[in-house]
Chain A
């Protein structure tokens, strides 16, 4: 059984089905991407994984346990951290407070201090401005803080929703380099991206979600080479870069 196993997930907002059958696997230590166009159901899938939405049907098993009926606040302590779309920092709190909230479920003060230092090492700019309000930061800095916040719970699986959104190419590169670094340290990463080119390039495995369904799967390089993917998701992406 895979580390994270999603089967036939169906999620609806009232009468409207946003996700109509998503299935995928994430193996431990991998970077797995979900790609697809805007509105395909990627974000809804992530929100369901982290318990913010309740699926109509389908199963999610993580680390051998079914979690689709667990409330959102209990998901984190199972080892899944979710950095949401649009970063959603606590804008009126300081960097340090944001990071402390990321470690809300932990009680080991020493470990928290150590992890906070690790985030500051990863993103030195955060360390320099730890007393500043998060709302005052630039998009890239906010993304760093969002990832740092998610790391503070020491997740086994890190879920990132559109980390490159609104960022400059340099900043995007920095974020993706960090993601690779996290993998090398043993963190499993589930990435949702519209920037398919960048995402596929670093993914061990990827899935295409179209109209609420997983339609294609393969390694990152297989999908990069697939003509259907190239036509639908890379053509525009390459042109825009």
Chain B
């Protein structure tokens, strides 16, 4: 007789049971989670108040923040020691309160403390010449860094052992005007924070031995605070609220961006940096259409920026230009965009026959052909190795965009008009991108990205639509190129090499592929970091390469993940898992 087999009864596991490499340690600590978090917080604060070095380290004239004097003083709390104090106190307070996702929040704070302590400890050790800097010597003890680091680690350990909760989802809905005010305040705070980050450790350009580490330390403290906020679910909630008041948020954000010149970052130096960021951000958004939406990898994309720039340079009336006519800037922008768009369609046309990796190589080949041709001053249009110099600035009437502006007592730095113009340009490009993404065309691109054959079977004419992605993306890059030509006043072929294409791609990926703010965020990070970390300038590209590897390893979906995006980078396609075997399964233990 055949027998029926009953399905097995599922057993439930106890609520907090840690497994994995540190499971045993965490389980042992778990009963003391609360005490542990408080002890960690207290240690952190204590560490902040202890002396951090046994000597005075002060290299040259620079405001007190960069002087290492204060490291010696007990109780002298400012700069990074203030950050540690605040994070530590927050950890203690939250450990005592009943807050949702409390352990996750405290863990974020602990990570912040540990990162700040470690960073400054290492740096002081290196600068002070050996471990003497963080031990007892000359009658002074300086265990600040070590105590704070231990405090941070204890906090993290205790919080983790208490069991990390899921992020809570808040569904508060306030009266519209309260939410408006809230958003206004939050965005204003973000603006101030950005200005603070940019100016931390002093203005760039000044040779300042402390700037880099002060900046990194601030970043570490901020990321601790932000991960705590994110753990509390508040960041998500703010996102939901701003989504609810979409238009309002966009307008306020735009105003905030325009208000940057009025903050501490309102210097000529930062205006120039910000304008460059804007150029690359606009280009990266164009690339985001091609790669992020349509899923077509382009490795020669910077050529379109170059084509736009050379077109504009030739129509600028610059002495070295081959064409020698001078057209109004707005018209030049349109022409540059059209020319770049035509080349975009040409470069995109092989997509009719070539797919995937091979397409990436075709675009790379086009990019190299462009660089080579420009280097050889093809048809006299690019100036070759001499570049096209002395491109006149954009002017309206007698006013030129690189003049400074004085409004009453307020004097805005030169370059501010370029900044305003690029902010508007980026806003425009974002608008184009956002509208395209949610249009029929955008959905067709996404369909092609997810599965080209299926898209084709659904009646999408994939060929023209893919070329259109290249065309539109290239036009946006061309616009940015025209701006670039006038802003920098020189256009040379070596601004458009393969490495620049890779940087653009990295900006798109880092920010989050297919998302609207992603490319801007990515471009900002990739251009601000080298400015702030000039003392590590020699290692810049090395770190960039390593960062690319690490991002792909640990967060391939970028900082802002696209909710709708699955197939390309965030993988949970069962087909793939099945094909590739055990490695992709969540239970993999190897």
Asked if A and B touch directly (CB within 8 angstroms), the answer is yes
Asked if A217 and B585 make an inter-chain contact with CB atoms under 8 angstroms apart, the answer reads no
Task: Say if the beta carbon of A216 comes within 8 Å of chain B.
Answer: yes
CB atoms of A213 and B2 under 8 A apart: no
Provide the B193-225 mask, 1 if CB < 8 A to any CB of A, else 0: 000000000000000000000000000000000
Enumerate B552-590 residues with CB–CB distance to A below 8 Å.
572-575, 577-578, 581-582, 585-590
The segment from A12-20, A117-125, A132-140 found at the interface with B is: A12-20
Q: Is B7 an interface residue (CB 8 A)?
A: yes
What string of 1s and 0s marks CB contacts (under 8 Å) between A52-95 and chain B?
A: 11111100000000000101100000000000000000000000
Tell yes or no: B3 within 8 A of A by CB: yes
Are the CB atoms of B2 and A15 closer together than 8 Å?
no
Give the interface segment out of A103-111, A148-156, A184-192, A222-230.
Answer: A222-230
The residues of A that contact B2 with a CB separation of less than 8 Å are: 216-218, 222-223, 226, 229
B3 and A218 contact, CB distance less than 8 A: yes
Question: Is A214 in the interface zone, CB < 8 Å from B?
Answer: yes
Instruction: Tell me, in angstroms, the Cα distance from A208 to B7 when the chains sit together.
Output: 13
A234–chain B nearest beta-carbon distance, Å = 13
Q: Does B585 lie within 8 Å of A71, measured CB to CB?
A: no
A13-B578, A14-B574 known; A215+B587 contact, CB < 8 A: no
Residue of A12, A14, A52, A53 most packed against chain B (CB within 10 A): A14
Do B5 and A53 touch across chains, with their CB atoms under 8 A apart? no
A215 CA to B4 CA, complexed, in Å: 6
CB of A163 within 8 A of chain B? no
CB < 8 Å neighbour of B582 from A23, A54, A229: A54
Query: B581 near A72 (CB under 8 angstroms)?
Result: yes
For residue A8, CB closer than 8 A to chain B, the reply is yes
Q: Distance (Å) between the CB of B41 and the closest chain A CB? A: 38
Q: Which residue of A lies closest to B573 (CB)?
A: A14
- A23 with B572: CB separation less than 8 A: no
A51 interface contact, C-beta 8 A: yes
CB-based nearest B residue for A22: B5
Given known contacts A54-B582, A54-B588, A54-B589, is B572 in contact with A15 (CB within 8 Å)? yes
The distance in angstroms between the C-alpha atoms of A12 and B578, with both chains bound, is 9
A16, A52, A216: the one within 8 Å of B581 (CB): A52
A222, B3: Cα distance in complex, Å: 9
Tell me if B1 is interfacial: C-beta within 8 Å of chain A: yes
Residues of chain A lying within 8 A (CB to CB) of residue B129: none
Does chain B have a CB within 8 A of A36? no
C-alpha gap A21/B7 in the complex (Å): 7
Interface centre among B2, B8, B581, B589 (most CB of A within 10 A): B2
Q: Contact check, A14 vs B587: say whether CB atoms are below 8 A apart.
A: no
B587's partner among A55, A72, A217 (CB-CB below 8 A) is A55
Q: Which residue of B lies closest to A221 (CB)?
A: B2
A-B CB contacts (within 8 Å), total count: 66
Q: How far is the CB of A233 from chain B (nearest CB, A)?
A: 12
CB distance from B514 to the nearest CB of A (A): 21
Distance in Å: Cβ of B567 to nearest Cβ of chain A: 13
Known: A54-B585, A54-B587. A13 touches B577 (CB 8 A): yes
Interface centre among A13, A57, A229 (most CB of B within 10 A): A13
Cα distance, A213 to B581, chains bound together (Å): 21
Number of A residues contacting the other chain (C-beta, 8 Å)?
31
B3 touches A53 (CB 8 A): no
Given contacts A52-B582, A53-B578, contact A217 B589 (CB under 8 A): no
Determine if A218 and B1 form an interchain contact, defined as CB atoms under 8 angstroms apart: yes
CB within 8 A of B5: which of A56, A215, A222?
A215
In angstroms, how far is the closest chain B Cβ from the Cβ of A64? 22
Find out whether the CB atom of A8 lies under 8 angstroms from the CB atom of B574.
no
User: Judging by beta carbons under 8 Å apart, are A8 and B8 in contact?
Assistant: yes
In the complex, which residue of chain B has the Cβ closest to the Cβ of A23? B5
B12 → chain A closest CB, angstroms: 13
Complex contacts, A13 vs chain B, CB 8 Å: 574-575, 577-578, 585
Taking the nearest CB of chain A, how far is it from the CB of B266, in angstroms? 50
* Bound complex: CA A71 to CA B2 (Å): 34
- Give CA–CA (A15, B572) in the complex, Å: 8
CA distance A53 to B589 in the complex (A): 12
Please determine whether B4 and A51 come into contact, CB atoms closer than 8 angstroms.
Answer: no
Annotate B1-17 by CB proximity to A: 1 below 8 A, 0 otherwise: 11111011000000000
Task: Tell me the smallest distance from the CB of B575 to a CB of chain A, in Å.
Answer: 8
List chain B residues, Cβ under 8 A from A226.
Answer: 2
**Residue of B1, B582, B588, B590 ringed by the most chain A CB atoms within 10 A:** B582
Question: Distance in Å from the Cβ of B569 to the closest Cβ of chain A?
Answer: 15
In Å, the complex CA distance between A213 and B5 comes to: 9
Instruction: Determine which of A14, A52, A56, A222 lies in contact with B572 in the assembled complex, contact meaning CB atoms within 8 Å.
Output: A14
The chain A residue with its CB closest to the CB of B583 is A54
Write the nearest CB–CB distance from A22 to chain B, whole angstroms.
9
Shortest CB distance B5–A (Å): 5
Do the beta carbons of A12 and B5 come within 8 Å of each other? no
Q: Which residues of A contact B575 (CB under 8 A)?
A: 13
The answer to whether A21 and B8 have CB atoms under 8 Å apart is: yes
Whether A14 touches B581, Cβ cut-off 8 Å, given contacts A217-B3, A218-B2, is no
- Cross-chain contact B5 with A216 (CB below 8 angstroms): yes
Q: Quick one: closest B residue to A11, CB to CB?
A: B585
Chain B proximity mask over A11-43: 1 for CB below 8 Å, otherwise 0: 011111000110100000000000000000000
Q: In the complex, what residues of A have CB within 8 A of residue B7's CB? A: 20-21, 213
- A residues near B (Cβ < 8 Å) are 8, 12-16, 20-21, 23, 44, 47, 51-57, 69, 71-72, 213-218, 222-223, 226, 229
Q: List 25 A-B contacts (CB under 8 A).
A: A12-B587, A13-B575, A13-B578, A13-B585, A14-B573, A21-B7, A21-B8, A23-B5, A23-B8, A44-B578, A52-B581, A52-B582, A53-B581, A53-B585, A54-B587, A54-B589, A55-B587, A56-B585, A56-B587, A57-B587, A71-B590, A213-B7, A217-B5, A222-B1, A223-B2
Q: Which residues of B contact A (CB under 8 A)?
A: 1-5, 7-8, 572-575, 577-578, 581-582, 585-590
Query: 3 shortest A-B CB distances, which residue pairs?
Result: A218-B2, A13-B574, A54-B582
Given A13-B585, A51-B582: 8 more A-B contacts, CB < 8 Å: A14-B572, A20-B7, A21-B7, A21-B8, A23-B5, A52-B581, A54-B588, A57-B587
